[in-house]
């Protein structure tokens, strides 16, 4: 692979998308109830009103929507790992410098990772909101939480991490487009004729 403009932009946006995605999935601030609880892919956090601190614990009973979101995230991470291996091999091995096959695979994997992030955001966004609002209406859960020093109330809010995941997905779509433009640019070049 040469150092064309399309390829440089594709690799740069890919790297930025990976970084934003990793920051997003490691956060506990995906969505929540204002000053009461937050949920993320791996943990659920409650505000302890007596101690004025947040307590985060892994999910005890993982809801189905969280499991499916975790599956999408793991598939996305696998796509990122394979893309990184192919990119490293393409820059190190001379035989892969101008490989059309490598560009097609990179394009497909980047598109797949962007779709997996988008599906994670949709599932966590829609079902997570329902989960949090149902938590507010469950009298037994409110009472048990109150006994533990947790007051479940407040308005539903979207966290910064889910917004970061949306941005990471959009950046991956941009990376996909630039990998395709690089492929088109590569196929438009005249082939050397054999004498």
Q: What are the residue boundaries of the structural domains of the chain, listed by start?
A: 5-183
**CATH says 5-183 is which class?**
mainly alpha
For residue 195, give the DSSP letter.
-
pTM of the entire structure? 0.84
Digit-coded pLDDT (tens) for 91-130: 888 777 677 888 899 999 999 999 999 999 999 999 988 8
The predicted-structure confidence for 135-149, as pLDDT tens digits, reads as follows 878 777 776 676 666
Q: For residue 38, give the 3-state DSSP assignment.
A: strand
């Amino acid at each position: 692979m040469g150092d064309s403009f399309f390829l440089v932009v594709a690799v740069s946006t890919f790297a930025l998308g990976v970084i934003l995605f990793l920051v997003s999935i490691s956060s506990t601030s995906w969505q929540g109830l204002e000053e009461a609880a937050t949920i993320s892919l791996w943990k659920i956090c409650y505000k302890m009103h007596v101690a004025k601190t947040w307590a985060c614990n892994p999910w005890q009973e993982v809801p189905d929507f969280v499991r499916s979101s975790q599956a999408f995230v793991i598939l996305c991470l696998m796509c990122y790992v394979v893309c990184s291996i192919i990119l490293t091999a393409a820059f190190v091995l001379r035989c892969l410098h101008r490989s059309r096959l490598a560009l097609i695979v990179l394009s497909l994997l980047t598109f797949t990772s962007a779709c997996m992030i988008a599906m994670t955001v949709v599932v966590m966004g829609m079902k997570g909101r329902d989960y949090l609002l149902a938590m507010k209406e469950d009298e037994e859960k409110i009472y048990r939480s109150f006994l533990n020093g947790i007051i479940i109330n407040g308005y539903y809010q979207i966290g910064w991490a889910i917004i970061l995941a949306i941005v990471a997905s959009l950046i991956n779509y941009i990376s996909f487009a630039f990998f395709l433009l690089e492929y088109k640019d590569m196929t438009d070049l005249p082939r050397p004729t054999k004498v």
